[in-house]
Structure 1
Amino acid sequence: MTERWLDETEMRAWVAFLDTSNLLLRRIDQQLREDGGLTQPQYELLTRLAEAPGQRMRMAELALALVASRSGLTYQVSQLEKAGLVRREAYTGDDRGILAVLTEQGEQALHRAAPGHLRVVRENLIDLLDRDQLATLADTLSRARAHLRATGGA
């Protein structure tokens, strides 16, 4: 089977997706470093913990939610643990299970960084689109995410 090259419209969509993703993530990372001393992956990790029941998650579940390797997650948790933003606890009933737990300092760091993060996301994506465009974007990316997860993309 020969591969189908991207036509003009497909290529335009692909390049726009790549450029927008990279530019937005770069801007978010800059803002998070300035406002909270965090990287984008660290902010996302803290956010997932803040939203989890009891502000804690098993490391394996957290890795899956963040689409991160276990070693990559371990590194990020270690960095956040050194900063006092996260702590690890044994998971009751499973000797191998470890929980990542958001600390009070972690919650404070999240609250310091969140307003600027929301501003950057709104100014550079959300507020540029009308409600129908947002719904289409959410539906489209959700479909691609579901496909990637179902086919082994994490």
Structure 2
Amino acid sequence: MATLKTIAEWAETLGISRQQGYAAVKRCEIPVNGGKVDLEYATILYHRHTRQRANAARQADRKSDVQFSLGGEGDYQAARARREAAEASIAEMKEAEMRGKYLLKTEVDSAIFEIARALRDGLTNCSKRLAGDVASLLTSEECEDVIEREHRALLESMSHSLKSKLNVIDDGDDE
């Protein structure tokens, strides 16, 4: 059988003021019958729609002896802990990004695309640039040397462009 109490009495069992009780009745849509509420049902609705205070441990002493099952209070605390951990992880990643430890994928993709396009254009135009130099040479070794120098220059240019676009520190181990 339902235990009916006035809103003020119900608020007192929760350890909140009468005004907070009336506000909770409106906010949590607690049914009122003749100025009274069902004690257990109103308490369950109140806890489902109200976030626990940071100083809840001090207020636990003032709560009534009414025992009830919320079915999900632990789920809320676990979800809140996961959210806090995720926010901390995101903040650490943003800090590492600001320090230059991480690169954004979109920036890397854009830089690679631009550099690869420049390399493609350089290799495509290579034959036109080298035709005059190679035409006067007599041996295939001499032709290879000219072509190899051109390719190496293009690859070095690509390497320097990549490092400058992505702000990579040169550690001097280029070969």
TM-score range, shorter chain: under 0.3
Task: Give me the TM-score of the superposition, normalised by structure 1.
Answer: 0.25
